[in-house]
Amino acid sequence: MDISDKPIEDIFEKISKEDEDKVKIELGEIYEDIVHILKQFCDLKEDQYSLIAIWIIGTYAHDEFETYPYLFFNAMRGSGKTRILKLIASLSKNGDLVGSLSEAVLFRTAKGRTLCIDEFEKIGSKEKQSLRELLNAAYKKGQVIERMRKKGEDFVPERFEVYCPIAMANIWGMEEVLEDRCISLIIEKSELPIIVKLIENFSKNPEILKIRKRLYELSCSLCSVVMKKDWDIGWNNYILGKYKTTLDTLTTLTTLTTLTTPHPDNKYFNKMDKTNIFGRHLELSFPLLIISRLLNNFDKTLEVLEKIMKEKRLEDMTESKDVQVYDFVSRLNENTGHILISDLIIEFRHFLNLNEKEDVWVHNKWLGRALKRLVLVKEKRRRTKGIEVIPDVIKAREKIKIFKEKEPKTIVNEELPTEVTKIDSRSVETTKNDNTEQ
């Protein structure tokens, strides 16, 4: 009887008694082989080879993770986007390269597959809204789509899981919310003859077929090791133990033991905690860090991910309007009283250096809703001239720290270059040339 035919509990029980080091050794060999193949066919940055190889390995243990990041490749035409996606599909678990994807195809076929979506240019369009909403959720386990199916004379609900590994590529970039679920990699056009003159024989390349075969054979052992580690539980207990100032009433000795017993990988948790990776960025990084731990490549992977996530935060600072609202309000005088929304929007658009024809949707109603959504309104009242608010400057200064490496400092009149604009005798300090620097 083949091991794949046995009940999953029996497989894990059997594998848990084996030497875990053997799994790690073989996994390390496969990792090196994947990196070698990637370097043979793709001209990428050194850090990108490692990250892609780890992501590919992770597709074989995908169901053991609560979340799994999307890979997004952004590049100009002719830079090898299709090649890298085709190669990833050839190496990943049940990988498929698709040139177009509909909502129905995604939710009906996602489970158990690795999807590599090429030429994903129109994902931000109105027509793709339903697909975009699915993709916004499919990086996290638990999202289920229900559709009615005819059964005899009746209609019954049918459930579909959409959680699956997805790699995407396009030229023009990704819609903001979806990109927040991605690890984004920019690739450049190569001029190396040893790479660009190779034929893409991935479906019958003996090295690729061997790698894929070894990964399938090792997948049960890999899932067992990942499940056995309980990294998510260990990490949460580590964070609770470190940052919780007082323990709640503990009803059982088991609970107390769980919170106080050191996890065997606490030294890795210490390293993760010292980085500025948190929130969704931590969710995206976590599975890759687990795989890198098994490959003895943890420190390098953590360094690369920290760099990527730092760049994402900086991008948020320059492109995300919500973050720019935090930044704008954080620069107001903290003693600011009631201000008309109509006056605030004029200053906010000036803060962003927007002319009358740029981003016309950034208007009074949008700013009012943004302040409400971000909970930056201390008081609100209606006057004959319009809505007035007292913005919560202190909260904005606290929130902006999440996106900046250092606490934002308030610009004062003596510092140059600045432009101070008066609103009802209250100052709004804005940096004239660069709204992201202090």
Helix/strand/coil for 177: helix
Where would I find the beta strands (DSSP E) of 310-432? 339-340, 377-383, 386-391, 419-423, 426-430
For residue 10, report the phi and psi dihedrals to the nearest 5 degrees: -65, -35
The residue assigned the tokens 């509909």 is 102
Q: Please determine, for residue 402, whether its predicted confidence score (pLDDT) is greater than 70.
A: yes
DSSP letter at 411? P
Structure tokens at 287: 């599975």
Structure tokens at 304: 């690369």
* pLDDT value for 353: 86
The model's pLDDT over 372-383, given as tens digits with 9 standing for 90+, comes to 999 999 999 999
The model's pLDDT over 6-24, given as tens digits with 9 standing for 90+, comes to 443 443 444 455 667 888 9
Structure tokens at 385: 């001239």
* pLDDT value for 13: 44
What average pLDDT is seen over the chain? 81
State how far the Cα of 288 lies from the Cα of 55, in Å rounded to an integer. Answer: 6
Dihedral of alpha carbons 32, 27, 92, 74, sign: negative
All structural domains of the chain with their residue ranges? 17-227, 230-318, 320-430
Nearest partner of 331 among 413, 265, 241, 393, judged by Cα: 393
State how far the Cα of 165 lies from the Cα of 361, in Å rounded to an integer. Answer: 34
The model's pLDDT over 123-157, given as tens digits with 9 standing for 90+, comes to 766 777 778 888 888 899 988 877 777 777 788 88
From the CB of residue 101, how many other CB atoms can be counted at a distance below 10 Å? 21
Helix/strand/coil for 65: coil
DSSP letter at 67? B
Q: Which residue has the higher pLDDT, 268 or 101?
A: 268
What's the longest Cα–Cα distance across the chain? 83
Mean pLDDT across 153-165 = 84
DSSP letter at 340? E
The model's pLDDT over 324-368, given as tens digits with 9 standing for 90+, comes to 899 999 999 988 899 999 999 999 999 988 888 777 888 899 999
User: Long-range contacts of range 240-249, CB-CB < 8 Å, 24 or more positions apart?
Assistant: 242/273
Percent of the chain residues topping a pLDDT of 90: 45
CATH architecture of 17-227: 3-Layer(aba) Sandwich (3.40)
Beta-bridge partners for 422: 427
Q: Please determine, for residue 415, whether its predicted confidence score (pLDDT) is greater than 70.
A: no
Mean pLDDT across 79-95 = 94
Q: Which residue has the higher pLDDT, 419 or 292?
A: 292
The model's pLDDT over 169-200, given as tens digits with 9 standing for 90+, comes to 988 888 778 888 999 999 988 889 999 999 99
What is the separation of C-alpha 6 from the centre of its chain, rounded to a whole number of angstroms?
A: 35
State how far the Cα of 70 lies from the Cα of 165, in Å rounded to an integer. Answer: 6
* pLDDT value for 22: 86
The yes-or-no answer to whether 17-227 and 320-430 have a common fold is: no
The pTM score is: 0.73
The model's pLDDT over 261-297, given as tens digits with 9 standing for 90+, comes to 666 778 999 999 999 888 889 999 999 999 999 999 9
Beta-bridge partners for 148: 157
Class of domain 320-430: mainly alpha
The model's pLDDT over 50-81, given as tens digits with 9 standing for 90+, comes to 999 999 999 999 999 999 999 999 888 888 89
The model's pLDDT over 212-237, given as tens digits with 9 standing for 90+, comes to 999 999 998 888 888 877 888 999 99
* pLDDT value for 39: 96
Where would I find the beta strands (DSSP E) of 58-206? 70-74, 95-98, 114-117, 144-151, 154-161, 166-170, 182-186
Residues 6+ apart with CB under 8 A from 149: 155, 156, 157, 158
State how far the Cα of 328 lies from the Cα of 252, in Å rounded to an integer. Answer: 49
Helix/strand/coil for 381: strand
Q: Please determine, for residue 306, whether its predicted confidence score (pLDDT) is greater than 50.
A: yes
List helix spans (H) across 253-353. 253-260, 266-274, 279-294, 298-319, 321-330, 341-351
